[in-house]
Structure 1
Amino acid sequence: MNDITNRKDIELMVDTFYGSVREDDLLGPIFNRVIRNNWPKHLDTMYRFWQTVLLHEFAYKGSPFVPHRKLPVEAHHFERWIYHFNSSMDENFAGKIAEEAKLRAQKMAEMFMYKLNTNSNKKRNT
């Protein structure tokens, strides 16, 4: 198995991951309800995001958290998300960049959970 080295690898990574997410009983309904018929646009955004993060080719601009801040998700959703991400990575890639992708995804999930909890607590206290 090879490591992630180019945009084609990023596309395989993202397509495999979101293919499993879309079929998941817990995550699929959330993603499909929010994204609806805009999957090509969403996937392209994810290609550009991971291309920027992993290959240092600056193709993505924006804040990855903003589109997620109002989603009805909790810790168990992120645990399932990480499971699918890591499984998709392990099925297709091995190497330093693949491991970096898993680490970045884990850190992103932790940061999103923290921000969602912080925002939720602010709403309850106002």
Structure 2
Amino acid sequence: MTDIQTREDLHLLMSEFYKKLLGDSKISFIFTQIAKIDLEPHLLDLVDFWEQILFDRGSYQKNVMQIHLDLNQQSKLSEEHFAIWLHYFNTTIDKNFAGQIAENMKTRALSIATVMKIKM
């Protein structure tokens, strides 16, 4: 396996990750019924976000924390939701990529999730 290197790698990763999330009824309702995401534009936003985080390039300018705080106001994001999210995130990375950037992505995701839980 290779490491995460391109936007295409990130898009593949986010697509596979969201297949898992949307297939799990314990968390899928947050995306389909509460946030009502339009999947393809959402995936592109996620690619932009992670490209900026991992490679220090890209055009992501939304306030991730505020988006999730607003979502939490509509439907409480629980410890279980964060655990499910991190599980699928990490296993999707591990299934598709290996290397320093992949490990950094998992570390950053844990850090972001931890900060969000504290602020909620």
TM-score by length of 2: 0.91
Structure with the greater alpha carbon radius of gyration: 1
1:102 is aligned, of 99, 106, 109, to 106
TM-score by length of 1: 0.87
Amino acid at match of 2:5: T
Measure the CA separation in 2 of the matches of 1:64 and 1:37.
15
Q: Match of 1:65, SS?
A: helix
Aligned residues: 116
1:74 is aligned, of 60, 78, 94, to 78
Question: What CA RMSD, in Å, does the superposition of the two structures yield over aligned residues?
Answer: 1.2
How far is the alpha carbon of 1:5 from its aligned partner? 0.4
The answer to whether the 8 Å contact 1:10/1:50 transfers is yes
Q: Which moved more, 1:6-15 or 1:54-63?
A: 54-63
How far is the alpha carbon of 1:31 from its aligned partner? 1.1
The answer to whether the 8 Å contact 1:3/1:93 transfers is yes
State the identity %: 31
Amino acid at match of 1:76: E
Hey, what does 2:50 align to over in structure 1?
A: 50
In the TM superposition, 1:19-98 aligns within 5 A as 19-36=19-36, 38-69=38-69, 70-71=71-72, 72-98=76-102
Amino acid at match of 1:4: I
Can you give the 5+ residue segments of structure 2 that lack an aligned partner in the other structure?
Answer: none
The answer to whether the 8 Å contact 1:51/1:57 transfers is yes
The answer to whether the 8 Å contact 1:6/1:55 transfers is no
> Residue 60 and residue 76 in structure 1: after superposition, are their counterparts in 2 closer, same or farther (change >3 A)?
same
Can you give the 5+ residue segments of structure 1 that lack an aligned partner in the other structure?
Answer: 117-126
Measure the CA separation in 2 of the matches of 1:37 and 1:73.
16
Q: Which runs of 4+ in 1 moved over 3 A?
A: none
Measure the CA separation in 2 of the matches of 1:57 and 1:37.
24
Hey, what does 2:16 align to over in structure 1?
A: 16
The answer to whether the 8 Å contact 2:31/2:37 transfers is no
The answer to whether the 8 Å contact 2:48/2:60 transfers is yes
